[in-house]
Amino acid sequence: MNQLLFRLCEASDGRIYAFLTDQPDTEDFFDSGYKVAYKHRDTETGRELLARWRSSFTVKSQEFEMLPEQDELPDGLQSAFDTMVKDLLPGVDVMFCDYNLAIKADLPIGTNMMDTYRSTDFVLFSCEELIGNDPNTQPYMVSYAAPRYPATGNIGSQHRIYSKTDSFAFARAISAIVNQRERDALNGGHIRTEVDGYINQPNVSAAFAEQVINRFVESLPQYNSSTKALGAPAD
């Protein structure tokens, strides 16, 4: 059985990071990546110590069975995922997410959110379809920079990173995003809260986040008759 894990953290510079996965054991990769990437940015710990989150919380869903291998996303699953993300993403600057959340197949469930939430930078991991699964040739990450607000004259870039599931890769992804944001801010490519209102909204609470990920998990059985969320009513 599997669980979804959602982690929301405030970095030492005030940026908000979110982490959503169906592999709870990867949480340490996320934390380790931040601690290394921000080592020289966290003025409270000094230059010799690893960075620390200002604040954080982690919630887990009820247990569920992964959807089996399929050629395409089941009807309705993308909508259920998009609804979950909409509830989790207010105020989030950087989002780490499983490329194929809750699905055994390498199907890109996170593409819509990158187009919808332009004020957030994204790191998708567990994406062997894109970066391969041979440890001898697998890159740490494949990175793209899309126009952040294509309908405006803003020159900022939105990072879309496909990453190896590894703490070093996560650290490099975080560093790339922070450096790009700093360069953009100097050149007029700052975050536009008047364009994307969600980025200026309060972050989700731990209690509400747990409800949100459980709603998504509870919706999974309808997309596969052999899959049943733990605790869901029997047919």
In a domain, 233, yes or no: no
Domain of 115, in residue numbers: 5-223
Higher pLDDT, residue 129 or 174: 174
Quote the pLDDT of residue 228. Answer: 42
In a domain, 234, yes or no: no
Quote the pLDDT of residue 227. Answer: 42
b (16+ CB within 10 A) / e for 111-134? eebbeebbbbbbbbbbbeeebeee
Quote the pLDDT of residue 45. Answer: 59
Quote the pLDDT of residue 128. Answer: 63
Quote the pLDDT of residue 234. Answer: 46
In the predicted model, what is the mean pLDDT of residues 57-68? 93
Quote the pLDDT of residue 235. Answer: 45
Model confidence over 15-39: pLDDT tens digits? 999 999 999 999 999 999 999 999 8
Quote the pLDDT of residue 63. Answer: 94
Of 121, 184, 115, give the one whose Cα is nearest residue 154.
184
Residue 134 reports pLDDT greater than 70: no
Quote the pLDDT of residue 198. Answer: 96
In a domain, 228, yes or no: no
Q: Is 46 exposed, middle or buried (0-12, 13-18, 19+ CB in 10 A)?
A: exposed
Of 84, 78, 40, give the one whose Cα is nearest residue 61.
84
Least confident span in 16-25, 82-91, 144-153: 144-153
Q: Is 207 helix (H, G, I), strand (E, B) or coil?
A: helix
In the predicted model, what is the mean pLDDT of residues 107-124? 92
Quote the pLDDT of residue 130. Answer: 58
Q: What is the mean pLDDT of the chain?
A: 87
Model confidence over 175-203: pLDDT tens digits? 999 999 999 988 888 888 888 999 999 99
Residue 133 reports pLDDT greater than 70: no
In a domain, 91, yes or no: yes
Residue 138 pLDDT class (50, 70, 90 cuts): low
Global confidence as pTM: 0.89
Higher pLDDT, residue 129 or 160: 160
Quote the pLDDT of residue 187. Answer: 86
Q: How many CA atoms lie within 13 A of 128 on its CB side?
A: 6
Of 126, 154, 121, 155, give the one whose Cα is nearest residue 138.
126
Task: Count up the domains in the chain and report the number.
Answer: 1
In a domain, 235, yes or no: no
Quote the pLDDT of residue 111. Answer: 86
Residue 44 pLDDT class (50, 70, 90 cuts): low
In the predicted model, what is the mean pLDDT of residues 162-169? 91
In a domain, 82, yes or no: yes
In a domain, 150, yes or no: yes
Q: Is 125 helix (H, G, I), strand (E, B) or coil?
A: strand
Residues sharing a CB contact under 8 Å with residue 197, sequence separation 6 or more, in sequence order: none
In a domain, 187, yes or no: yes
